[in-house]
Structure 1
Amino acid sequence: MRIESIRLKNYKSFKATEMNELPRLCVVVGANGSGKSTLFDVFGFLKDCLTYNVRQALQVRGGFREMLSRGVDGAESIELEIKFRMDVIGVERLVTYLLEIGQEDGQVIVRREILRYKRGRYGSPFHFLDFSGGEGYAILNEEDFGKENEELQREYQEISRDGLAIKGLGQFTRFQAASAFRQLIENWHISDFHINRARGSKEALGEFEHLSITGDNLQLVARNIHDNYPEVFQKIVNAMKHRVPGVTDIKPVLTQDNRLILSFQDDAFKDPFIDSRVSDGTIKMFAFLVLLYDPSPHPLLCIEEPENQLYPSLLWELAEEFRAYAERGGQVFVSSHSPDFLNAVDLDEVFWLTKEKGYTSIFRARDNAQLKAFVAEGDQMGYLWKHGLFPGADPL
């Protein structure tokens, strides 16, 4: 499953913006305040809408008026449209999810929620889920979609006006597209990693299947992989040996008071170091590798400014790991200010943001003739970014 395009309307600084033909590794650059965090928050917003409801997801972001683009009439809607490719009944299809959010009589409502895809390459997309203001339908016999003369059966339902239909219907496998998209959203990982929360001993009980957003359960996840997926853990250790000079082994250790710590072996010393004594960069690189080698990987990773705390020479290595993850079937969105990181990525993978009169525009590097010519002559993306050759974007 891969996201192919994103369209935003009246979503904070994105008054009317879209990104098409998204690659599996998508790198976004732009000046501070240009909208990189807002773009990534689209994924977090949808996940919050699914986990709670639309009203609550808006409230934690300041409310509907704060999320609506400045200067836009309050009667207008916030629109999000995501197109993604997925297997439906044995056929890969381009599925579109559209969400329109408005405010009426001071109350937040979902004005329209649609999930649609085409029967074949041609023709109009068919709506398999279509709700407005808390009322709508979903198709029951989606598996019959490809059969000629087969009548599709609609099930009409009512839901809360500020809730998502995919939240309820997505629990049932008979609503195949809704179920698949719900799972996609639920398994997105939007990283907000904090070194200080990842360090130190941790209680041995807690969430251990996936690395948390902040990384505060790093020791538990490492132990789970070490104990239950030893071949995967060895890949992580081998990657650390290759990426971080001096590291020869890593082990999760259970202390006598039933807490977990990470032990790092350096080839220059006989005794290992506990994680509180190794560098920030070493901890962060290990956390990224634990995330990237997850035995049940996330379909989408969003990571902001991975260069923080990492030595510049490690950024090329990290970009290689991100690309390898994407090639294994995931999708990775990264924002960065680092020329060193950009030097490791391709022309086709880079987008940049500019902001003018309060609104953000998105451009793609491969569509710029000058950048394309420079890269063809052997220049690297980071060099071009550092020297201000991304029109309208300040590299500082």
Structure 2
Amino acid sequence: MQIESIKIKNYRVFQDVEVKEIPNMAVFLGMNGVGKTTFFDVFGFLHDALQSNVRAALAKRGGFNEVRSRGQDGDIEFEIKFRPSENEPLITYQLEICLSEDKKPVIKKEIMRFRRGQMGAPWKILDFSFGEGLAAAGDLVKYEDVQLAKRDSQKLDSPDILAIKGLGQFKEFIAVSQLRRLIEDWYVSDFHIEDARGTKDAGYSERISPSGDNLALVAKYIYDNHQEIFEEILVSMEKRVPGISKVEAQETADGRIVLRFQDGNFEDPFVSRFVSDGTIKMFTYLILLHDPEKHALLCVEEPENQLYPNLLEELTEEFRSYALDGGQVFISTHSPDFLNAVELNELFCLIKKDGYTRIQKASESQIIRELYDAGDQLGQLWRQGVLLEEVGK
């Protein structure tokens, strides 16, 4: 899947924002407090709303009035344009959330539009309001005329439930279930070093959790089932972390899984709780980026934290390789060292003005393009204050 654009209205610091022409790997740059975390939380919010409902997702964030942009009285709105795969048509998904008469958050509008080819008006796959609406059945890509697709009236159990959750469970609504699966597969990192250090009861996990608390279990799974991938991870670890020659996920006598890191300079391995934060974080990223099944969207905040600056260029290449191999990657940063490995068309700048934040592509600034083409690195331009100064005008 590739998200090509996103509009956000009345979601915290994003009173009215549109991000266009998003590449496979996109890097979001800004000062502290401008909304990098909030931008990623849009995807977390949609994921939570799908897992439960809109009311619960808002309550987790303080409620409707806390989430809605300060000083605004409009609805919370999102519009995402994406392609399920490179050769499939563009799909537009719109969601509008308001307060009901009894002050409960409900879905005022939920629409999916489909357009095959460049000509003609988009055709609605899904059109719901306050828990009722129409949905198209069948594989729309195979229809010679999508207007021939069968559309049935549907009613959800509650007006705060996403239609893509209710209908996405049924195989006849192919396009709807496709979007549901894609959102379920979004990964928004909330990584915590201490959680990743911890031991876990022996069990089974195939993919890293957002917090990284199942790192040892996933390492064991990859070692047991994908030996060649685990060897690739070890080769990368040896290059990036001096001295590390081996990593093991061992089951202890009391039935727990613990990570052990072997330093070639010492006879005995170190248990994960005794190795550096940077070692744990690099190993976690490598496990995540070498997942045999790519996430449709990977959101990672400030990967530079706890890592030696010289490692960031290679880590950027790991992220880019992941994106080129099928999974879209969004990264937030304010590290000049990380930016030095970023390409101009991958960079978006967040600028706060009059209490709200807007997002602009760095390549839209003629001055930045000229400096970049002349050989200036983006990290250098960031240190000099050029990026935000010029893009923000």
Please state which band the TM-score falls in when normalised by the shorter chain.
over 0.9
Rounded to whole Å, the distance in 2 between the matches of 1:185 and 1:144 is 20
Counterparts in 2 of 1:71 and 1:329: CA distance versus 1, 3 Å: same
Name the structure 2 match of 1:139: 136
Query: CA shift at 1:77, angstroms?
Result: 1.3
2:198 aligned partner, one-letter code: G
Contact 1:352 1:393 in 2 (8 A): no
* Secondary structure of 1:170's aligned partner: helix
Rounded to whole Å, the distance in 2 between the matches of 1:392 and 1:300 is 30
Query: CA shift at 1:148, angstroms?
Result: 4.4
Query: CA shift at 1:145, angstroms?
Result: 5.5
**Matched residues, percent identical?**
52
Per-residue CA deviation, residues 327-349 of structure 1 (Å, 9 max, x unaligned), is: 10111111111110111111011
Name the structure 1 match of 2:340: 343
Per-residue CA deviation, residues 300-347 of structure 1 (Å, 9 max, x unaligned), is: 111111111111111111111111111101111111111101111110
1:275 paired with 2:275, answer no
Name the structure 1 match of 2:91: 95
* Secondary structure of 2:265's aligned partner: coil
1:119 paired with 2:116, answer yes
Contact 2:137 2:149 in 1 (8 A): yes
Query: CA shift at 1:224, angstroms?
Result: 0.4
TM-score between both structures, scaled by the size of structure 1: 0.95
Counterparts in 2 of 1:149 and 1:85: CA distance versus 1, 3 Å: closer
1:314 paired with 2:311, answer yes
Rounded to whole Å, the distance in 2 between the matches of 1:274 and 1:144 is 52
Counterparts in 2 of 1:375 and 1:51: CA distance versus 1, 3 Å: same
Query: CA shift at 1:137, angstroms?
Result: 0.9
Query: CA shift at 1:146, angstroms?
Result: 2.6
Contact 1:31 1:393 in 2 (8 A): no
Q: How does 1:98-247 map onto structure 2 within 5 Å?
A: 98-105=94-101, 106-143=103-140, 146-148=143-145, 151-159=148-156, 160-205=158-203, 208-247=205-244
Contact 2:368 2:390 in 1 (8 A): no
* Secondary structure of 1:92's aligned partner: coil
Rounded to whole Å, the distance in 2 between the matches of 1:329 and 1:177 is 20
Rounded to whole Å, the distance in 2 between the matches of 1:183 and 1:108 is 24
Query: CA shift at 1:87, angstroms?
Result: 4.4
Query: CA shift at 1:122, angstroms?
Result: 0.8
Counterparts in 2 of 1:391 and 1:150: CA distance versus 1, 3 Å: closer
Counterparts in 2 of 1:149 and 1:208: CA distance versus 1, 3 Å: closer
Contact 2:349 2:388 in 1 (8 A): no
Unaligned runs of 5+ in 1: none
Contact 1:28 1:334 in 2 (8 A): yes
Query: CA shift at 1:85, angstroms?
Result: 0.9
* Secondary structure of 1:379's aligned partner: coil
Moved more, 320-329 or 260-269: 260-269
* Secondary structure of 1:138's aligned partner: strand
Rounded to whole Å, the distance in 1 between the matches of 2:113 and 2:85 is 14
Unaligned runs of 5+ in 2: none
TM-score between both structures, scaled by the size of structure 2: 0.95
Rounded to whole Å, the distance in 1 between the matches of 2:193 and 2:166 is 37
Rounded to whole Å, the distance in 1 between the matches of 2:41 and 2:84 is 23
* Secondary structure of 1:34's aligned partner: coil
Query: CA shift at 1:188, angstroms?
Result: 0.7
Counterparts in 2 of 1:221 and 1:72: CA distance versus 1, 3 Å: same
Counterpart of 1:290 (choices 276, 287, 308) is 287
Rounded to whole Å, the distance in 2 between the matches of 1:378 and 1:87 is 35
* Secondary structure of 2:249's aligned partner: strand
Query: CA shift at 1:117, angstroms?
Result: 1.0
1:255 paired with 2:269, answer no
Name the structure 1 match of 2:17: 17
* Secondary structure of 1:295's aligned partner: coil
1:47 paired with 2:47, answer yes
1:387 paired with 2:390, answer no
